[in-house]
Amino acid sequence: MAEECIFCKIIRGEIPSDKIYENKHIFSLLDNNPIAPGHTLVIPKKHFKTILDIPEQELCELIKGVKKMTMAVVEATDAPGFNIIVNGKKAAGQLVDHIHFHIIPRFKHDNIRYECPAIKYKEGQKQEIMDRIKKVLK
Ligand code: AMP
Ligand code: ZN
């Protein structure tokens, strides 16, 4: 709910934040629990939970903001790389139910790790999942 949403409260100015930038559509701030210096969040001003909920026009404005902020963060931190992360729903680690992009400056030997061992498909599983996704798209 937008009423109780922490990001909506930040946008409305009801709670303080390390705001970096805002325009008509988006708001950008430093994450208050950063995993790297310059860890930045970009959020739409309107409350939508995930990428599945936000209308395409709003999403275009959001992704334009993500690119603008990524350019700024990378240049300001001199980072040789960056991650852009979006968590969708609780099962994927989304803690704040207001869609947001994380921009994380990355450096060699920065000790940030994503432990994601690749899985092996079981017999027939790959074809089945491909067919199911294609069917949804029809
Ligand atoms: P997620 O797990 O993708 O929902 O990430 C939510 C992020 O929001 C976390 O990285 C938090 O540290 C960050 N966060 C939560 N509350 C605030 C706040 N008041 N100001 C800045 N960042 C916040
Ligand atoms: Zn919200």
Chain segment 113-124, per-residue pLDDT in tens: 888 899 999 999
The span from the CA of 21 to the CA of 133, in Å, is 38
Q: Is residue 130 part of a domain?
A: no
Evaluate: CB of 93 within 6 angstroms of ligand 1: yes
Which of 99, 19, 10, 11 lies closest to 62 in space, CA to CA?
Answer: 99
Q: Which amino acid is at 26?
A: I
The reply to whether ligand 1 has any atom less than 6 angstroms from the CB of 50 is no
- Average confidence (pLDDT) over 99-125: 94
31 within ligand 1 shell (Cβ under 6 A): yes
Most informative mutation of 4, 20, 33 for ligand 1 (most atoms within 8 A of CB): 33
Q: Is residue 136 part of a domain?
A: no
Whether residue 44 lies inside any domain: the answer is yes
Q: Which of 76, 129, 130 is nearest to 103 (CA)?
A: 76
If one residue of 4, 6, 48, 94 were mutated to test the ligand 1 pocket, choosing by the most ligand atoms within 8 A of its CB, it would be 6
Q: For residue 38, what pLDDT band results from cuts at 50, 70 and 90?
A: very high
CA-39 nearest atom, ligand 1: 10
Give the whole-angstrom CA distance, residue 117 versus residue 13. 42
Question: Which residue did the predictor score with more confidence, 1 or 47?
Answer: 47
Whether residue 81 contacts residue 106, with contact meaning beta carbons closer than 8 Å, is answered with: yes
Residue 102 is among the residues annotated as catalytic for this protein: no
Tell me: pLDDT of 1 over 80.
no
Q: Which ligand 1 atom minimizes the distance to the CA of 86?
A: 3
Q: What is the DSSP letter of 19?
A: E
Those residues with Cβ within 8 angstroms of residue 52's Cβ, 6 or more apart along the chain or in another chain = 88
- pLDDT-based confidence at 2, cuts 50/70/90? confident
**pTM assigned to the model:** 0.96
Q: What pLDDT score does 87 carry?
A: 98
pLDDT at 72 (0 to 100): 98
* The predicted structure's pLDDT at residue 137: 98
Range of the domain at 95: 6-110
Question: CATH code at 68?
Answer: 3.30.428.10
How high is the pLDDT of residue 90? Answer: 98
Task: Give a yes or no: residue 1 inside a domain.
Answer: no
> Is 48 within the bounds of a domain?
yes
Instruction: Tell me the mean pLDDT in the region 31-51.
Output: 98
Residue 55, pLDDT above cutoff 80: yes
More confident residue, 59 or 3: 59
| Other C-beta atoms lying within 10 Å of the C-beta of residue 63 | 15
Across 74-93, average pLDDT: 98
Handedness of CA 47, 49, 51, 54 (dihedral sign): negative
Establish if 129 belongs to a structural domain: no
How many Å is the Cα radius of gyration of the chain? 17
The whole-angstrom separation of Cα 112 and Cα 125 is: 32
Asked whether residue 24 is domain-assigned, the answer is yes
Quote the mean pLDDT of the chain: 97
Q: Report the domain count for the chain.
A: 1
Q: Is the residue at 26 inside a domain?
A: yes
Residue with tokens 């930038």: 21
